[in-house]
Amino acid sequence: MAQDTVNYVNTKLDQTVRIFDEFYRYEANVPADQYDIVLSWFRRQMNDDRVAGNFAVSLFQVAENTGINALTLLDSMKGLTGLDLTLNMAYYLNEIRSRATLLGVNNPVVPNFYAARNVLQ
């Protein structure tokens, strides 16, 4: 007698993952399947699992604060690597941060000619 197997989601189990960032005191419950997708994508892009985890938590924080689905934000980052990926994440994080504490990316500062001209030496 053969038994058939049925794969289904057990709705009695919690299908979320609790993520947190102690530095920014951020905590959220996110769908486990979305977290796995986001974390695995960042792990492929980064050389360090800790950095990938920080980027994943930051993406969910941005998603929660902007009301945009995390997978939609992730789709907008596909094709980016290295500095472009960091720049894109800084852009999203700056949208939800105080204007006094904006993040930057290592780009050379170009002085404003007119402001520099008025500085007395």
Residue 14: is it exposed, middle or buried by C-beta count within 10 angstroms (0-12/13-18/19+)?
Answer: exposed
Q: Please tell me the distance from the alpha carbon of residue 110 to that of residue 112, in angstroms, as a whole number.
A: 7
The pLDDT of residue 114 is: 61
The pLDDT of residue 106 is: 60
The pLDDT of residue 90 is: 84
Query: What are the Cα distances from residue 97, in Å, to 30, 41, 92, 108?
Result: 21, 24, 9, 22
Q: Could you read off the pLDDT tens digit of each residue along the chain, which spans 121 residues? A: 455 555 555 566 667 778 767 776 878 888 989 999 999 999 999 888 998 998 899 999 999 988 999 999 999 988 888 888 888 888 888 888 777 666 766 655 566 666 555 555 5
Residue 80: is it exposed, middle or buried by C-beta count within 10 angstroms (0-12/13-18/19+)?
Answer: middle
The pLDDT of residue 40 is: 94
The pLDDT of residue 43 is: 93
Taking the model in full, what pTM does it have?
0.69
The pLDDT of residue 87 is: 86
Q: Locate the domains of the chain by residue range.
A: 16-101
The pLDDT of residue 60 is: 93
Q: Which one-letter amino acid corresponds to residue 34?
A: Q
User: Residue 29 CB: number of other CB atoms within 10 A?
Assistant: 13
The pLDDT of residue 81 is: 81
